[in-house]
Structure 1
Amino acid sequence: MANESTRLSARDWALAALKAIADGGLAAVAVEPLARTLGVTKGSFYAHYRNRDELIEAALDEWVRGHGEGALTEFAAIADPARRLRELLATVVQSVRPLAPSVHLSLLGDRNDPRVRDAIRQVNRARLALLADTYEQLGLPPDRAAGRARIAYAAILGLLHLAQTEEESPNSAALSDEVAAVFLPI
């Protein structure tokens, strides 16, 4: 096991921590259980991180990178705002899985932790900015675009919340059409 630290990267640990956060919040991030899940000893952890707090910070950074501004560049590059919004909403609807844990929703339980609050704000800010810009490009004045963005984003988070307790998946194509009908200006 001398080379186990070379088999697992710091990112592997951060991704495992994110899965633990999705399943049980920050309290679920513990080195020994994560090492068991990853099939390594604690020594692998200490090859990458000094302590649990560093791992949590790395996991939150990974989540922000994967769900914030950087993750939205593909959608921001779509020139047609109606197509951009339709594809963004369809992607969200298709990613919602019944009983699937959500990092975002789990983090809300730890929102008093300043690191968590900052990560959530970064992701929320990036998502709301993209939505608001899209609505402005669709012709809404800035104040209405910002309001529509907040409502659309709240609906997205609501879909994630519902999926946490549902056992069956809704028809994602039909739901995508409904979401587009509600949130795309005619």
Structure 2
Amino acid sequence: MVNETTRLSAQDWARAALKAMADGGLAAVAVEPLARTLGVTKGSFYAHYRNRDELIEAALAEWVRTHGEGGLAEFAAIADPARRLRELLTTVVRSVQPLAPSVHLSLLGDRNDPRVGAAIREVNRARLELMTRTYRELGLPPARAAHRARIAYAAILGLLHLAQTDEDPPGSAALSNEATTLFLPS
């Protein structure tokens, strides 16, 4: 909890809104409960945002920044495509935590909101482009690389979905080894 004398940034509020979204979608983003969670008054909110919609837009922009192209930059910089894919799959699979809330999955319930739909499309686009490029660099023809990327990404989202209800999943090391074996072209 933040001390009342601590000044929160707009980004602090956006990150708190993202956590709320992970727990309950757009409906969970409300100023007063967020202020209580952050340990401040709602006046702190109004120092950064005019209204809830601005906060939602900032939170979605933060999610796109950290989970889209910007969040993938370290992987995109890996020159060897096999190593890039292995590290990407290992990192993603190991980050999936049992029963952990997910911004991505929670936002799907609000996908008809134009802001949410655009954010999901942008994150999906960045991830699929990186994976498709990687498969192309591994020697797959363009159409096959795009299909392989889509299937691998669907598997990742499926693991994320399973983690929402699976209290006793297989170990992440075993899953990441299996993912690497399954999705690296032979």
The one-letter amino acid of 1:74's match is E
2:8 aligns with 8
The one-letter amino acid of 1:130's match is L
Cα deviations across residues 112-133 of structure 1 (Å, max 9, x unaligned)?
Answer: 0000000000000000000000
The one-letter amino acid of 1:32's match is E
SS of residue paired to 2:15: helix
1:39 aligns with 39
Q: Are 1:112 and 2:112 an aligned pair?
A: yes
1:144 aligns with 144
Deviation at 1:168, TM superposition (A): 2.1
Give the alignment's TM-score, normalised by structure 1.
Answer: 0.96
Aligned equivalents of 1:6, 1:91: Cα separation in 2: 33
Q: Equivalent residues in 2 for 1:1-186 (5 A)?
A: 4=4, 7-186=7-186
Deviation at 1:174, TM superposition (A): 1.1
SS of residue paired to 2:166: coil
Aligned equivalents of 1:108, 1:64: Cα separation in 2: 14
Cα deviations across residues 15-52 of structure 1 (Å, max 9, x unaligned)?
Answer: 00000000000000000000000001110000000000
Aligned equivalents of 1:4, 1:33: Cα separation in 2: 15
SS of residue paired to 2:145: helix
Runs of at least 4 residues of structure 1 off by over 2 A?
Answer: 3-6
The one-letter amino acid of 1:125's match is R
Comparing 115-124 with 165-174, greater Cα deviation is found at: 165-174
The one-letter amino acid of 1:170's match is P
The one-letter amino acid of 2:155's match is A
Deviation at 1:6, TM superposition (A): 6.1
Give the alignment's TM-score, normalised by structure 2.
Answer: 0.96
Aligned equivalents of 1:81, 1:5: Cα separation in 2: 48
Q: Could you tell me whether the CA contact under 8 Å between 2:35 and 2:45 is conserved in 1?
A: yes
SS of residue paired to 1:7: coil
Once superposed, what is the RMSD of the aligned Cα atoms? 1.2
Aligned equivalents of 1:78, 1:170: Cα separation in 2: 28
The one-letter amino acid of 1:69's match is E
Aligned equivalents of 1:79, 1:170: Cα separation in 2: 31
